[in-house]
Amino acid sequence: MTEKKRILVVGAGAAGFMAAITAARRGAKVTILEHMNFTARKIEHTGNGKCNFTNRNQGKFYYYDENCELIENILEEFSFDDTIDFFEGIGLVPKERNGYFYPLSNQASAVSALLRMEAEHLQIKIACNINIIKIEKQEKLFKVYTDGYVYEGQSLIIAAGSKAAPATGSDGSGYKLAKELGHHINGPYPALVSLKCSGKEINTLSGLRNYGGVRLLIDGVQKAYDEGEIQFIKSGISGIPVFQVSRYASKVLNSSVNKNKHSVTVEIDFIPMYTEQQLLNFFHKRLENNSYKNLTAFLTGFLNEKIISVIAFKLGIKGNISVDSFTDEQWNNICHTLKNIDFNITGTGDFAQAQVCCGGVLTDEVNEQLESKLIKDLYFAGEILDVDGKCGGYNLQWAWSSGFVAGKYASQI
């Protein structure tokens, strides 16, 4: 009887579990080394505790990395359909909402529990509280030196996450391991995170949640745009459309190379459903019954009072003037400002507030099987790689797909 291939996986998160399960199903003897005294903790925080584990709409458009071809290949090798099959196979009943998938039980903890059950069923050994001191490759064997023991494996998969949400165990120590093995790291910077803004107007808006468009500009050039519910917080903005554009701001504002060299602004469009001309037409129509009112009264019922007060302040319009007396230029300015209120971005939330990181192990340094081009039989999976996805189940999809690919090829004899 041939001996089973021994595989070590660093990190018991989404990608680590998927890699381990995939390898064990292919006959390998798998040990996961986890430095916390718990496993899969980050999964339990996902999707506001409900775990948006994938999305029906897939494609490279939803992921960021220069190396788009690699992402596409990985997502093809373990697709959205494969993800649904896999989770149904381990007992999860999926529920869809506008393309976003969650467990029917609405519990993220169900996803981590099912992964643990499957790992146990496959006799995957999970060693917790492991402090990895050093990794060496001697001949064809990886030796992982820990405080008390040296673990050995013919393949090693590093799936140690990023620096986002460090309390879940994803504290950036995986990057250190990758570096010691000769790999290079981009960044990392917090992403899917809130943005800090300067200016008096932002504090007037604090507490407001309003649908709108968020346009992010670097040195006046648009880099990203997204629409949804914007949350105005103390000295900043948050919410999904802000998260979606945040990575571009983060890469400039949190990088020691780029810092203070570029201007980062957002323009908020409070009426994305109308063009400026349509908005103007709407106001002209509204004047028929409301021309005796001042600006605040005229906009009441259409816009939140905080937005009205910011517009009046920005345009220097006094409260005692009736809209009847406004010039065409003033109406144009009102429409333009409502669709382009700009804020200077001074920073981002930190790693503890970020859902993911942009940056990580350079994808040029791995092949299409996610094997290191520097060290044979070393693989990477999940967020440790320089790939980040949009909000909407894409980061977990990357963890599942890359975990599957790394586990599959690492277990090949």
Ligand X SMILES: Cc1cc2nc3c(=O)[nH]c(=O)nc-3n(C[C@H](O)[C@H](O)[C@H](O)COP(=O)(O)OP(=O)(O)OC[C@H]3O[C@@H](n4cnc5c(N)ncnc54)[C@H](O)[C@@H]3O)c2cc1C
112 is an interface residue for ligand X by CB under 6 A:
no
Specify whether the CB–CB gap between 274 and 244 falls below 8 A: no
Give dist(CA 59, CA 50) in Å, integer: 23
Give dist(CA 335, CA 343) in Å, integer: 17
Nearest to 197 by CA among 263, 272, 270, 271: 263
Q: How many residues does the chain have?
A: 413
Give dist(CA 399, CA 380) in Å, integer: 10
132 is an interface residue for ligand X by CB under 6 A:
yes
Binder among 8, 9, 22, 52 for ligand X (CB under 6 A): 52
Binder among 395, 407, 409, 410 for ligand X (CB under 6 A): 395
Least Å distance, CB 10 to ligand X, is 5
Neighbours of 70 (CB within 10 A): 20
173 is an interface residue for ligand X by CB under 6 A:
yes
Binder among 5, 8, 9, 11 for ligand X (CB under 6 A): 11
Q: Which stretch binds ligand X (CB under 6 A): 32-40, 86-94, 241-249, 299-307?
A: 32-40
Sheet holding 54-55, edge to edge: 54-55, 100-103, 94-97
170 is an interface residue for ligand X by CB under 6 A:
yes
15 is an interface residue for ligand X by CB under 6 A:
yes
Binder among 20, 165, 216, 405 for ligand X (CB under 6 A): 165
Nearest to 384 by CA among 129, 179, 195, 146: 179
Q: Which stretch binds ligand X (CB under 6 A): 153-161, 195-203, 223-231, 289-297?
A: 153-161
Q: Which stretch binds ligand X (CB under 6 A): 7-15, 83-91, 265-273, 322-330?
A: 7-15
Would you call 375 helix, strand, or coil by DSSP?
Answer: coil
Q: Report CA 270 to chain centroid distance, whole Å.
A: 24
Alpha helices in 26-79 (DSSP H): 41-45, 68-77
249 is an interface residue for ligand X by CB under 6 A:
no
Binder among 7, 8, 10, 24 for ligand X (CB under 6 A): 10
Residue 339 exposed, middle or buried by CB count within 10 Å (0-12, 13-18, 19+): buried
Q: Which residues sit opposite 9 in a β-bridge?
A: 32, 157
Binder among 9, 21, 30, 36 for ligand X (CB under 6 A): 36
Q: Which stretch binds ligand X (CB under 6 A): 1-9, 68-76, 173-181, 274-282?
A: 173-181
Which is closer to ligand X, CB of 401 or CB of 411? 401
14 is an interface residue for ligand X by CB under 6 A:
yes
Residues binding ligand X (CB under 6 A)? 10-16, 33-36, 42-43, 45-47, 51-52, 130, 132, 159-161, 164-165, 168-170, 173-174, 177, 355-356, 382-383, 393-396, 399
